[in-house]
Amino acid sequence: MAKKVAVVGIGHSKFGKRPDVTIRELAHEAVFPALEDAGLSAQDIDAVVVGVAGDEFAAQGSCAAVINDYIGMQGKPLYRVEAACATGSAAVRTAWALINSGLAETVLVVGAETMTHVGTPRATELMAKAGDTRWEYPFGVTFPAFYALMATAHMHQYGTTREQLSMVSVKNHKYGAMNPYAHLRKEITLEEAMKSVMICYPLNLYDCCLISDGAAAAVLASEEKAKKLTDTPVWIIGLGAASDNMMIAERESLTSLKATRLAAEQAYKMARIKPEEIDVAVVHDCFTIAEIMAYEDLGFCKKGEGGKFIEEGQSYIGGKIPVNIDGGLKSKGHPLGATGVSMTVEITRQLRGEAGKRQVEGAEIGLSHNIGETGQYCFVHIYKR
């Protein structure tokens, strides 16, 4: 039986274009509110786990060491975790494991990334290089293109439509507009989403997440510590993680992410719950098709019915399972290393009842789902208040 681990403190920087700061200052913006929220100071922290996906974005090697110093954690055990776009969730999982193993009682998790400082063409190039540089990059496959391939396969196999893809974007923008930390706080209409510029068919601009700067932080603690620190601990009751083939052509399916299915199965089993018991979820919507596949692979609906799920409004507040009501990667932004930690922050907020206008009334069980690259990594965490 695994020991209990809780989230006891959360902090979040404003996501967006942040030429005013570098990665160290961004991390600071998230860390100190998280420590304050937990009622702790630096000396109470046993270890620090930093998630940064790419040093090239920050133009700084060993970003974790720079951040650790800047936030005054010199002397603590320090870990740098990387899992592409799932870096933040890998960091949360690492912190959980440190506490569960007894190596630490209280761990600070920091996820941070600056992506806009290098400019969009360079950022696109850096992300494209995350594909297989021997057999995929030589054909100029961009990051959205990998998901576009899955989208045409999904549309062909299940009749999913471009309109349904756009509906995901409309929903996430609606909620992102209500989130003060979101990058693009703007509601959009279905028509605007449908008519935006084509990036790679069938994905247009509003099907793609943003390139953002941002940081998020969380303090995790053992059961004994958590009970002393707060009346509202949010327990991590299930975890799952999995991986998949590097080259997408080689995968058994182009319409489903195996890593999600495997990770979700482990997490549901550990938490002893079924998908329909989830009250609120944040899922990896780097592209709208990814959210539709996540509904299916996480068991929120049947395989092939993800398009119908959004069309019926089932992922809105009031629907079967509200999804990405913090704006998702689409509207809140996707600073790679920060994203997974930001997901933990949002679910914690929801389960504490602190999400304001975006609150899912009475939410008790939450789920976060974070994909690295195009399914080469997946982490699923389940939380309970």
Partner 1 sequence: MKFGYASWLPETNMMRKFTEELANGRLMGTKCKKCKTKYMPPRIQCRCGSTDMEWYEAPKKGKLLAYTIIMYPPESMQKYAPYIVAVAELEDGTRLLSHIVGVTPKTLKVGMPIEVSISKVSEDRITYKFKPST
Using alpha carbons, list the distances in angstroms from residue 203 to 42, 212, 251, 286, 294: 45, 19, 21, 11, 17
Restricting to residues 122-181, name those near partner 1 by CB under 8 A: 122, 124-125, 128, 133-142, 145, 148-153, 155-156
Enumerate the β-bridge partners of residue 285: none
* 41, 108 Cβ separation under 8 angstroms: no
Q: Does 103 bind partner 1 (CB under 8 A)?
A: no
Among 97, 199, 246, 273, binds partner 1 (CB under 8 A): 199
CB of 379 to partner 1, least distance (A): 24
The b/e string for 121-149 (b: 16+ C-beta within 10 A; e otherwise) is: eebeebbbebbbeeebeeeebbbbbbbbb
Cα gap 335→332, rounded to integer Å? 10
Q: 110: helix, coil or strand?
A: strand
Task: Quickly count: other Cβ atoms within 10 Å of residue 105's Cβ.
Answer: 18
Residue 301 DSSP code: S
- Candidates 28, 183, 284, 334; catalytic one: 334
- Look up residue 292 and give its two tokens: 């539709």
**Nearer to partner 1 by C-beta: 200 or 267?**
200
Q: Does 311 bind partner 1 (CB under 8 A)?
A: no
Q: 383: helix, coil or strand?
A: strand
Q: Does 247 bind partner 1 (CB under 8 A)?
A: yes
Q: Does 286 bind partner 1 (CB under 8 A)?
A: no
Q: Does 189 bind partner 1 (CB under 8 A)?
A: no
Only one residue has tokens 């998702």, namely 328
**CB under 8 A: which stretch of 164-172, 245-253, 302-310, 365-373 binds partner 1?**
245-253
CB of 201 to partner 1, least distance (A): 4
Restricting to residues 7-26, name those near partner 1 by CB under 8 A: none
Q: Does 49 bind partner 1 (CB under 8 A)?
A: no
Q: Does 196 bind partner 1 (CB under 8 A)?
A: no
- One-letter amino acid for residue 342 of the chain: S
- One-letter amino acid for residue 357 of the chain: K
Please say if 85 is a catalytic residue: yes
Residue 186 DSSP code: -
- Candidates 12, 63, 85, 378; catalytic one: 85
Q: How many CA atoms lie within 13 A of 221 on its CB side?
A: 24
- One-letter amino acid for residue 255 of the chain: T
CB of 141 to partner 1, least distance (A): 5
CB of 149 to partner 1, least distance (A): 4
**CB under 8 A: which stretch of 5-13, 83-91, 192-200, 259-267 binds partner 1?**
192-200
**Nearer to partner 1 by C-beta: 248 or 360?**
248
Q: 238: helix, coil or strand?
A: strand
**Nearer to partner 1 by C-beta: 135 or 190?**
135
- Catalog residues that contact partner 1 under the rule CB under 8 A: 121-122, 124-125, 128, 133-142, 145, 148-153, 155-156, 197-203, 247-250, 254
Residues marked active site are found at 85, 334
